[in-house]
Amino acid sequence: MTAIDPIAHHAALDLRMAKAAKGIRLLSLVSWPASEQQTFLADYAQGRATLPVYQYPKHDFSDARRELVAIAAAADPAHPLGIYLIESAHSWQQAAALLEQLGTPKVAELSVALFGTPDHTLPGGVTTREAAQHFLSVAGELDSELLSPAEQVEISATALALRLQAQLDDFFDARVIEVELDPDLIAKAAAGSRKIRIRAGAAFSDYDMQQLLQHEAFVHSLTALNGQQQSVLPSMALSSPRSTATQEGLAVFAELITGSIDIERMKRVSLRIEAVAMAMEGADFMQVFRYFLDAGQNPVDSFTSAQRVFRGVPTSGGMAFTKDTVYLRGLIGVHTFFRWSLKHGNLRQCRRLFAGKMTLADVQRFQPLFDDGSLQEPRWLPAWAARANGLAGMLAFSLFANKIRLDQAMNAETVSDF
């Protein structure tokens, strides 16, 4: 009797999973069309805005769900590839079930199962919501006079797309990723492996430009492109819901380590987490929309932010699409993982996060498969990840600085002694 090759066995299962999951495009299918925004804002300008009630198309993923169940059943739960397939198949099943229930309270329950809640406890004992409130407090105390004139200059979507395209072409030395304007996009930007869409007519800052480059292009797009190089696990090119926290955490970490993040960005991320908590506690769409207005966002951005909170769920309150809670949780998880990797002399693990869309647990379990060549090292890396010395220097300082208790080291009388 011929022994089964576990690599070949799981590679065949992964091909089936990638095919089954291809149509389960969670974020694009839960989002509203631009016409909903236009109608709401026109009514708002006339003083007669009401709760949006978007009628979602009906979806049937029963065939895909059955195939995903079969794939998970055939995978070996004792093998790293089997664990990946079982967990990924389960995640795709939940996403498919969510899409079949769009517009109902069931979506909120499935969203929590996939992405968690604002009350999720982070390393150190604080919750995601408490971390968000910390950043909101810092942003509220920042003296606006510290902002330089360059930070207040608006960049048009057209100009930003041209600048972004030029930098990407220079990075790849070819036209690998296309940047295009999209008048129907509600979010300011969205990234795929070969295309980055920018909302036509939107205004951006220089920080926005750098954030898009580091976050969307050099994380989301690069991990998709590198994932396409994986002959054993082609599904690593897909945005599985179970890898969302790591993906978004790595993307925000990229903004942080390159100096591309600003306090306004942290404020936007934190406002969304607080808004998700408000919606889960009973706030309806109008209340959340006004929350963003009161926080200083314009009506267009306030609608966009509120729409993110109510994707897929009724807008009457008590429910939310909780995906935005993963950004801070993912950032802290990735930052902790990078520091752990440095402490244990294994920064290669950090680079391997770019080999495809994985969780932090995946990249650790896959170490023997990377080492023996079953999985491919990432073909493309952003500059900050490719420069190991610079990354190690920042992480080494971070490890040391975390040992210093600010309340014991400094006060108004001793600060001048440093």
SS3 315: coil
pLDDT above 70: percentage of residues in the chain? 93
More confident residue, 404 or 279: 279
Token pair belonging to 349: 């693990």
CA–CA dist 129, 119 (Å, integer) = 6
221 neighbors 196 (Cβ within 8 angstroms): yes
Bridge partners for 127 per DSSP = 121
User: At 146, is the pLDDT very low, low, confident or very high (cuts 50, 70, 90)?
Assistant: low
88 neighbors 235 (Cβ within 8 angstroms): yes
User: At 185, is the pLDDT very low, low, confident or very high (cuts 50, 70, 90)?
Assistant: confident
pLDDT digits (tens, 9 = 90+) for 36-66: 999 999 999 999 999 999 999 999 999 999 9
SS3 177: coil
Average pLDDT over residues 201-223: 92
Output the CA–CA distances (angstroms, integers) from residue 101 to 30, 190, 332, in the order listed. Answer: 10, 24, 32
Sorted by sequence, the CB contacts under 8 Å of residue 316 that are 6+ apart come out as 51, 284, 285
- Domain definitions of the chain by residue range: 25-60+101-409
Average pLDDT, the chain: 91
Q: E strand or H helix at 182, and its extent? A: strand 178-182
User: At 417, is the pLDDT very low, low, confident or very high (cuts 50, 70, 90)?
Assistant: very low
Q: Give the model's pLDDT for residue 408.
A: 56
pLDDT digits (tens, 9 = 90+) for 287-326: 999 999 999 999 999 999 999 999 999 999 999 999 999 9
* Torsion region of 30: left, alpha or beta (phi above 0 gives left; psi -120 to 50 gives alpha): alpha
Q: Give the model's pLDDT for residue 389.
A: 74
Give CB contacts under 8 A, 24+ apart, made by 31-35: 31/186, 31/187, 31/307, 31/311, 32/186, 32/307, 32/311, 33/184, 33/186, 34/183, 34/184, 34/185, 34/186
Average pLDDT over residues 25-29: 94
The pTM for the full model equals 0.92
254 neighbors 233 (Cβ within 8 angstroms): no
